[in-house]
Amino acid sequence: VDESVSLGRIAGIRIGVNWSVLALAGILVWQLAAIVFPDTNPELSGGAHLLMALVAALLFLVSILLHELGHALQARRDGMAIDGITLWLFGGVARFGGQFPGAGAEFRIAIAGPVVSLLLAVAFIAASFAGALPESVAVVCWWVGQINAVLLVFNMLPGLPLDGGRVLRAALWRWTGDIRRATDIATVVAKGVAALMIGGGLALAVLAGSALSGVWLALIGWMLLRASAGEAQNARVQGALAEHTVADLMLPAAAVVTAPLHQPLPEFLADAGWRGPFSTYPVTDGERVVGLLPYAAVGAVAPERRAWARVADLTVPLADVVVLAPGDRLDHAVDRLETLELERAPVLDGDRLAGLLSLDDVRRMLRGTPALGGR
Ligand SMILES: [Zn+2]
C-alpha cells in the first residue's frame, strides 16, 4: 500500500494515509447516516444522523490507527526498525524493516494490536452504558465499541498475515524451532480461512441477499489469500538469502573501480569513464576505504564547479553508509541495504576493500533461482 498523504508523526512513527481510505470513510458514513443511526434513533433529524456518522467514522479510523500504533510501539521495544503506518481501504498496515528477531517477539508484536482493540471495545461499550451521556453520544460510543470488538475478532482469525495468523506462526515457530516450516503450516491454515471467507461472503451475497456485506467479506478473503501467498514467498526468499553470505554475491575488489580521495574530480571521471559505468565508487585513502562516491552526486555538481572539485568534496563518509563484512549473512545485509537510497554497500575486510554488494545483484540472483519463482 502506497502512502499518498503524510499526516506527520506520532511518537516518532510516520503516519500516512492512502487515498483509498476516503472510500472506506465514505462507505462507512453513508451506511451509518442512511441505515444504522436512523434505525437506532428515529426521533433525530437527518443532520444529526450525519453528524453522528461523521464522528463515529472518525473514531473508527482513530481506533485502527491506535491498533497499528500498538503493533509499532511493541515492535520498536523489540528492536525492530519501523517504516511507518498507513491507513487504507481495508484498515491499517504497520510496516517494519527486516525480519522478526524471534518467535517471542513476533508473538508480542502481533498481540499488541488486538490488546489495544480490546481496551477500546471495553472502554466505549462501558461509556455507552454509563448513563450520563446524551442518547446520541451513547449510541455512537456503542457502535465504536462493537466495531472495535469486530475488529478484534477479525484480526484474531488464524490467517497469516492477520494478527491471529502471526500468533499462530509464532507458536508453531516456538514449537518446531523452524520458521520456514511454521510459515508453511500457517500459510495452509490462512488459505483455508480465506477460502471460508470468500465462500461465506458469496453465500451471504447470493443466498441471504446482503450484497454489500457479502461482497465486502469475499473481497477481504481474496485479499487475505493474496497476502498469505506473499508472506510465504517472502519467507522462501528470506530462507534462500539466509543460506548465503555477502562474499557469495559481492563484486570482488579486483573488479571494483575505486576513487582516490585526493584526486581531482575531472581526472577521476576521465579515468573511471572507460572502465565501465558504476553508480557508486568506494573512495580510498591509500589502501584504506574512507567512504563512497555516488555517481548521482557528481551529476548534482554544477558543470562550471566540476572542474575544481575533488573526489573528497563529494565523498559520503563511512559513518553515513552501511558497511558489510564478507562473512555477514546475506539476509541481514539485504535488510540493512533496503533502508538506504544508495542500495549499495562497501564490503570491508578490516579497513581494506573486499568487494561491493548491490541490491540489484541480489535481486538478479533471486530471479535466477527457479524455486523462488522470481519476483
Ligand atoms: Zn493488527
Q: Name the pLDDT band for 371 (thresholds 50, 70, 90).
A: very low
Q: What pLDDT score was predicted for residue 277?
A: 64
Q: How far is the CA of 81 from the centre of ligand 1 (A)?
A: 17
| Contact (Cβ atoms closer than 8 angstroms) between residue 348 and residue 323 | yes
pLDDT band at 233 (very low <50, low <70, confident <90, very high): confident
Strand-pair partners of 353: 348
Mean pLDDT within 326-347:
84
How far is ligand 1, taken at its centre, from the CA of residue 85, in Å? 11
Q: How far is the CA of 188 from the centre of ligand 1 (A)?
A: 20
In 3D, which of 285, 346, 345 has the Cα closest to residue 310? Answer: 285
Q: What is the mean pLDDT of residues 236-245?
A: 83
**Is 68 one of the annotated active-site residues of the chain?**
yes
Element (H, E) at 167: helix 163-176
33 CA to middle of ligand 1, Å?
A: 27
Give the span between the Cα atoms of 137 and 99, in whole angstroms: 43
Percent of the chain with pLDDT over 70: 96
pLDDT score of 372: 45
Record the cell numbers describing residue 243, joined without a space.
Answer: 543460506
- pLDDT of residue 278 exceeding 80, the answer is no
Identify the active-site residue in 3, 68, 231, 343.
Answer: 68
Q: What are phi and psi of 283, to 5 degrees?
A: -100, 130
Q: Collect all residues with Cβ–Cβ distance below 8 Å to 213 and sequence separation of at least 6.
A: 201, 204, 205
Ligand 1 centroid to 171 CA: how many Å?
Answer: 17
Band (1; pLDDT cuts 50, 70, 90): low
If you search the block for the grid coordinates 433525530, which residue do you land on? 44
Q: What pLDDT, in 10s, does the model give residues 81-130?
A: 888 898 887 778 888 777 788 899 999 999 999 999 999 999 999 999 98
How many CB atoms lie under 10 A from the CB of residue 332?
16
